[in-house]
Amino acid sequence: MYPAFGRRRLVNAFALAGPALACTRLVQAQGQTAPSPRIDAPVVDSLSIQVVTDGAHDVFISGAQAPGVRVERTRGFSGAQLNRTLRSEWGLSLFLTAQMGSETRRYLLDFGWTSEVLNNNLELLQVDVPRIDALISSHGHYDHIGGMEGFLAKHRASMREDLRLHVGGEDAFCYRHTRALNGAFTSFGMLDRRMLEAARVRPVLSEEPIVIEGMAFTTGIVPRVSIERVLPNTFVEFGQRDGAGCDVTKYANHHFTSAELSGQPAPDQHLHEHATCFHVKSRGLVVITSCGHGGIINTVRRAKQVSGVDRVYALVGGFHLAPAPEDYLNKVMAELKALDVEHVFPMHCSGQNFLEAAKREIPQALVLCTTGSRFTFGA
C-alpha cells in the first residue's frame, strides 16, 4: 500500500512531471493526516562500497584520496589472471560491506546487465559471495536486474538458505518497455517472481523505509518534493501475463485508468524505486541512489527525513541526469550545492554533463568512479 504520509505530497509533486503522468492518480483519503515515517537508523562503524560493474574500467584513474574516505583503485591483474580483466557494460552493481563492532554485514546491490560480466568481476575482485547476507534491487530496469538470474544460477547453492531480495514494492515486478525509432514498443525485461521462486529467494517488498540485516536502511517510496521530475526513460505495463508482471490489486491506493489496465505501456514513473542508505558513525549518511529516477534531491531529502540525520556525508550512484537539458541540470546542481553534501560519487547514468557541471560547481566534493574502485567510509 501507499503509506498515508506520502500520498498527498506525491500528488502535488508528481504534477511537476506534466502530461506524462496524467493517467497516474495517487489519492489520500479525506481527513487523513500525513505523519512522516521514521526509522531507528543503525549507526555503523564503517562502510565499504566496491564497484563491481559500471560503464567503464579506467586503469589510469587518479588514486587521489578524498578527505575521510579511503579510495582504492583496481589497476589490473597479473600472474594467473593475466588473460582476464574486469569487464564493464551499461549497468550497475555494488558490493557493500558494513561493520558495527565485531559484526559485519554484506549486501549485493543490483546486478548489472549480464551475469557474464557480473560473475567475472565478482571472481576477479574476490568477493566472498557465500557470505552475502542480503540482495537488494533498486528498481526494475534491466541494466540493474539483468545479471540476477545467471548470478543465482552460479552461486545460489553456496549462499545462505534464507536468502532475501529486498525491493521497493510491487511496481518493481512490472514489465518494462522501450520505444524504437518507428514507435513500436520493445521489451526491456522484468523482474521475474517465477525465477526467484525457483532459486529459493524470498522477495521482501516494502514501500516504507526498512532496516535490512541490522545495518542498511532503505528510503522506501521517494516523494517528489523538489523541482525534479522523472526524465523520459522506459514505459511500464501494469498487470500480469504469462505468470509474471505486477499485480495491480496490491496497489491499494492507486486508481488505475482503463487505459493503464489495457496493457498499453505508460510512461514509467518508478513509483517504487528506493535508495539504500547507511548512517556512518561520526560521518553522517551515505545515500546510494543506484539510478535516482525520482530525483537525487528528493532522495537525499527522503533519507534525511526518515532517519532524522541531517548530515549527508556522501551521495553515491547513478543520478539519471545524462538526458537532462542544461537549464534543468543547472537547477538540480544548485539544489545539490545547497544540501552541502561532502562527497559526491557519480556512476552509471549520471552523465558527462553532470560530471562537467560538478567539476565546475563542486570540485571539492567530486570523486570519480570506475569499475573495480572501492570506497571506505569510517574506520
Residue 265's pLDDT band (boundaries 50, 70, 90)? very high
The pLDDT value recorded for residue 277 is 98
pLDDT in tens, 197-208: 999 999 999 999
Detail the DSSP E strand segments found in 172-306.
175-179, 185-187, 202-205, 211-212, 216-218, 235-237, 239-241, 244-246, 266-267, 276-280, 284-290
Given a cut of 60, whether residue 14 has pLDDT beyond it is no
For residue 226, pLDDT over 70 is answered with: yes
Any idea of the CA torsion for 236, 239, 240, 246, to the nearest 10 degrees? 70
- Of all residues in the chain, the percent with pLDDT exceeding 90 is 79
Task: Give the residue-averaged pLDDT of 198-227.
Answer: 96
pTM above 0.85, yes or no: yes
Residue partners of 309: CB distance under 8 A and separation at least 6: 41, 279, 284, 285, 303
Mean pLDDT of the 48-65 span? 95
75 pLDDT tier (thresholds 50, 70, 90): confident
Given this model, what pLDDT does residue 21 score?
A: 29
Q: Domain 7-378: which topology?
A: Metallo-beta-lactamase; Chain A (3.60.15)
The residue behind cell 565485531 is: 102
The domain spans of the chain are 7-378
Report the chain's mean pLDDT, rounded to a whole number: 89
**Rounded average pLDDT over 15-26:** 31
> Rounded distance, CA 161 to CA 146, Å?
23
How confident is residue 56, by pLDDT bands cut at 50, 70 and 90?
very high
For residue 48, what is the DSSP state? Answer: E
The residue among 292, 106, 344, 108 whose CA lies nearest residue 214 is 106
Q: 47 pairs with which residues across the strands? A: 98, 377
Cα–Cα distance measured from residue 15 to residue 24, given in angstroms and rounded to the nearest whole number = 10
